[in-house]
Chain A
Amino acid sequence: GDSVTQMEGPVTLSEEAFLTINCTYTATGYPSLFWYVQYPGEGLQLLLKATKADDKGSNKGFEATYRKETTSFHLEKGSVQVSDSAVYFCALGNTGGFKTIFGAGTRLFVKA
Chain B
Amino acid sequence: SAVISQKPSRDICQRGTSLTIQCQVDSQVTMMFWYRQQPGQSLTLIATANQGSEATYESGFVIDKFPISRPNLTFSTLTVSNMSPEDSSIYLCSEQGADTEAFFGQGTRLTVV
Measured CB to CB, the residues of A under 8 A from B are 32, 34, 36, 41-46, 49, 51, 89, 91, 93, 95-100, 102-105
Report yes or no: A43 in contact with B107, Cβ–Cβ below 8 A: yes
Other A-B pairs beyond A42-B107, A43-B107, 20, CB < 8 Å: A32-B99, A32-B100, A36-B102, A43-B4, A43-B6, A43-B92, A46-B101, A49-B101, A93-B101, A95-B99, A96-B99, A97-B99, A98-B30, A98-B33, A98-B98, A99-B33, A99-B48, A100-B101, A102-B42, A105-B41
Pick the contact of B45 from A44, A51, A99, A105 — CB < 8 Å? A99
User: From A90, which residue of chain B is reached at the shortest CB distance?
Assistant: B42
Report yes or no: B92 in contact with A44, Cβ–Cβ below 8 A: yes
User: From A30, which residue of chain B is reached at the shortest CB distance?
Assistant: B99
| Chain B stretch 58-81: residues in CB contact (< 8 A) with chain A | none
User: From A4, which residue of chain B is reached at the shortest CB distance?
Assistant: B42
Give every chain A residue within 8 A of B96 (Cβ-Cβ): 93, 98, 100
- Sorting the interface of chain B by its residue count into under 10, 10 to 19, 20 to 34 or 35 or more gives 20 to 34
Report yes or no: B97 in contact with A98, Cβ–Cβ below 8 A: yes
Measured CB to CB, the residues of B under 8 A from A are 4, 6, 30-31, 33, 41-43, 45, 48, 92, 94, 96-107, 109
Interface of B is mostly: strand
29 A-B residue pairings within 8 Å (CB atoms)? A32-B100, A41-B109, A42-B106, A43-B6, A43-B92, A43-B105, A43-B107, A44-B43, A45-B104, A49-B101, A89-B42, A89-B43, A91-B102, A93-B99, A93-B100, A95-B99, A96-B98, A98-B31, A98-B48, A98-B98, A99-B33, A100-B94, A100-B96, A100-B102, A102-B42, A102-B43, A103-B42, A105-B41, A105-B42
Give every chain A residue within 8 A of B43 (Cβ-Cβ): 44, 89, 102
User: In the complex, how many angstroms separate the beta carbon of B76 from the nearest chain A beta carbon?
Assistant: 14
Give every chain B residue within 8 A of A103 (Cβ-Cβ): 42
| Leading 5 A-B pairs by shortest Cβ distance | A43-B104, A43-B106, A43-B107, A44-B104, A104-B42
Give every chain A residue within 8 A of B41 (Cβ-Cβ): 104-105
